[in-house]
Amino acid sequence: MTRTFSATADRLADSQNAKRTASKVSQLDDEDRRFFEREESFFSDFSRSDPPPTIQKLRSQLGLDELQQRAADAMDSLDALAARRRLASTFVRASFYEPGRYLAQGDTLKALTLYALAQSIHPENAQLCAERDAVYRNYALRKSVAPELGCDRR
């Protein structure tokens, strides 16, 4: 019985579908590595920007429009999952880790910019919108700030 399973496994491993899938997984792994390196560089460059770039420019630098299209592609589930993983990484950093760091440093404008970037990935996220809007309203009491950095949906 073990020989039968072993022979079946060998036959499946030699199939063209398995070889194509293994190649695709390897390709996506390489793309993930490059994306996460680019993401790390992106956040490092962002920390040195003054004033912060526009949300559209930030989205363009990360290729978020393409990633969102790929994430929605039902025809290539492996690619869609990889795109969702990359979007999730950027969302978590832009909605939690990085803004927290900037708020602790007193750089509310950069925190608001990253909140807006994260909201552009998940516009339906009500919790992020509420946090973002609270920071925006508090900051706007003291300084002039672009309305698009807030998230008041009333």
For 68-116, the pLDDT digits (tens) are: 999 999 898 999 999 999 999 999 999 999 999 999 999 999 999 999 9
Can you give the residue range of the structural domain that contains 134?
36-149
| Residue at 73 is within a domain | yes
> Within a domain: residue 29?
no
Could you give the number of structural domains in the chain?
1
Give pTM, 2 decimals.
0.85
When pLDDT is averaged across residues 53-57 and rounded to a whole number, the result is: 96
113-133: per-residue pLDDT in tens?
Answer: 999 999 999 999 999 999 999
* Residue 9 scores a pLDDT above 70: no
Return d(Cα 101, Cα 40) in angstroms, integer.
15
Q: Is 25 within a domain?
A: no
End-to-end distance of the chain based on CA atoms, in angstroms? Answer: 66
Q: Could you give the CA distance from residue 75 to residue 19 in angstroms, rounded to a whole number?
A: 18
Task: Assess if residue 19 is contained within a domain.
Answer: no
